[in-house]
Chains A and B, each alone.
Chain A
């Protein structure tokens, strides 16, 4: 199960992108998301795609791995394409069946939406492929610090995110363990009819949920027993340090944002 879910896992190739400050990567990601939303034409989207491929290549992780990260969302992408094709009208008629017709504007809007989503998912995977959950958490905490004045606790939010990120693979492992036990006793999900599949998956919910709560309780007890208090001052084991490389990385993303806006207007 975890083998299929690549997003959220660190793939350490020791590239320059891996060594960047997580705050730089998070900022770049926000800029990238803004650029993806702003890209409304083929030239803007294609230049963004070329830029994404270049950054992905810098991570030394095969491009196929990024595509695999987006694979679980292919049904959703297909759904978006169909909805856009059905909803958006205009341009020339490409296909007609009775009263229904597929317009070129609908197909183009659908393809734009799918490409935008694929770019966003693949590129978000870059963040988790190149940053360990701990560093990501640290980066998030650092970025949220200015909001402390508004009553938002960055420590609480980053702790929640960090634990959630760590629990996803743990819970998937737990579910896989039970599914393996069921398969070894003659109920292999792959060999069962759909109705039975649904029943077996429902049977997973209770033990996996109970186990997640138990893990959470154990984790809280373990942290408290080792002196952890939310809000108490703590020193960082590996403090973050911002370098010129980080500034350059963010600057490149600012430029690509400006480029997308410029292409959109002219």
Chain B
């Protein structure tokens, strides 16, 4: 079933002179069980796109289909609770979204709303807290007593606690340190590959997500200007500056290797470790060739 957007447009303040169109005639098809990265410059419509997937925003034109729920512009809405149970949305600046008196109350808020018993909700909360690397001793604290990084992790945990089928995250790594960001991406990758969850991540740090994402969407001026696998993104990377994005370092390194060794037919290595290993292999092969030539000439 997955996610399909058909001719979707979204305009803020649609009926006022202050209207602003954020998405224009978007066509998207995202398969279930994949990890998708969404990138684009500020104001390109990424956050609006994510909020359509959870029914927080409704399309002003076109149709959004998420799993078995269809949201058509201008039509009577179905009950959104079943959709929201299955699509967990982590907003930008999630640390601003904690509102309960204790962290524990915030974590169990979602599961209780979707019919879990208090015991089940508490167990889910602890599991999510552990997954985000937070200590249980924080559960009794007021969310505003947590540090900035802890609050962000807690906000992500509050969505993980609902155990949704689709996880949609709007720049979840912003303001986290590099170690925490890498751990978070690995956790999301694991949830995708081992538990079959669909993960959609908006990011400005393409480099960090490139080794993990199955698919990429590049947004520009309210439209997806690229949709496809990492290979396609590598091939069209020269266009990224036109969309307000810089070419990721790993892609630039791969291009260097590709040109030097004629690797156009090869699947690109996009993590620092994979790039280093492939470069070593190629250099060793070169060294062996030169040695053989020396031996022969001698």
Contacts and interface: CB of A to CB of B under 8 A. Distances in A.
B297 interface: no
Interface stretch (A152-160, A203-211, A220-228): A203-211
Given A185-B109, A186-B85, A188-B80, A180 B17 contact: no
Contacts of A206: 99, 101
Given A185-B159, A188-B81, A207 B98 contact: yes
Contacts of A177: 91, 93, 96-97
B100 A203 contact: yes
A18 interface: no
Contacts of B110: 185-186
Given A185-B110, A203-B99, A62 B56 contact: no
B82 to A, nearest CB: 10
A191 B78 CA distance: 11
Interface residues of A, number: 28
Nearest to A3: B13
A68 B16 contact: yes
Contacts of A13: 17
A101 B96 CA distance: 54
A63 to B, nearest CB: 11
Interface in B191-214: none
Given A62-B17, A65-B16, A181 B79 contact: no
Nearest to A178: B99
B16 to A, nearest CB: 6
Interface core residue of A9, A61, A181, A204 (most chain B CB under 10 Å)? A181
B162 interface: yes
A184 B54 CA distance: 7
19 contacts: A13-B17, A62-B17, A177-B97, A178-B97, A180-B51, A180-B56, A181-B91, A181-B97, A181-B155, A182-B109, A184-B84, A184-B88, A185-B158, A191-B81, A203-B99, A203-B100, A206-B101, A207-B99, A211-B96
Interface of A: 3, 6, 9, 11, 13, 61-62, 65, 68, 174, 177-178, 180-188, 191, 203-204, 206-207, 210-211
